[in-house]
């Protein structure tokens, strides 16, 4: 018997696989239902069984989520790898798109901060003058959307 030729597959329940990957069992079930994991083998009683390779995929998914990738994006990356293609170029493109989106959001937040600061400054001036408004001069005199 050639021990090196035999592959040892450790089968574990959804809870054990989730714990090994540092995620919840609910996340494992969701990711499986969305096709990020291949359908799990089942026991005669219907319990899902996962292998060490599944735990590696779960860890990959968890890490990809920390980078801001959506489940659909992660599935695309995993599908590329499963079809024998190198997914790193796709990941680079996804990360570039996320960085650009963050830059847009930061610019929007900086503009909102300037608007709020101006509204607060204006409100203080109106309060000092004793100006009254129908409801609240701060909002009534704030600049509108572009």
Residue-wise pLDDT tens digits, 82-115: 999 999 999 999 999 999 999 999 999 999 999 8
Report pTM.
0.76
State which residues of the chain have pLDDT below 70: 1-9, 133-134, 145-146
Candidates 3.30.2320.80, 1.10.1660.10, 3.10.270.10, 3.40.50.720; CATH matching 14-85: 1.10.1660.10
Q: List the chain domain ranges.
A: 14-85, 95-140
Neighbours of 138 (CB within 10 A): 16
Question: Going by C-beta distance under 8 Å and a sequence separation of 6 or more, which residues neighbour residue 98?
Answer: 67, 68, 69
- Tell me how far apart the alpha carbons of residues 21 and 51 are, in angstroms, rounded to a whole number: 12
Q: Which helix (H) or strand (E) holds 108?
A: helix 88-129
């Amino acid at each position: 018997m050639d021990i090196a030729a035999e592959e040892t597959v450790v089968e574990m329940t959804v809870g054990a696989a989730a714990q090994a990957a540092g995620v919840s069992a609910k996340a494992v079930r969701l990711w499986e239902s969305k096709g990020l994991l291949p359908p799990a083998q089942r026991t005669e009683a219907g319990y899902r069984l996962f292998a060490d390779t599944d735990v590696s995929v779960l860890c990959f998914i968890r890490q990809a989520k920390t980078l801001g990738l959506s489940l659909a994006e992660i599935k695309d990356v995993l599908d590329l790898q499963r079809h024998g293609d190198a997914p790193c170029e796709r990941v680079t493109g996804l990360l570039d798109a996320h960085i650009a989106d963050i830059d847009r959001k930061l610019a929007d937040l900086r503009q909102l901060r300037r608007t709020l600061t101006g509204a607060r400054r204006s409100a203080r001036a109106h309060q000092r003058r004793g100006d009254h408004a129908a409801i609240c001069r701060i909002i009534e005199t704030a600049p509108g959307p572009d």
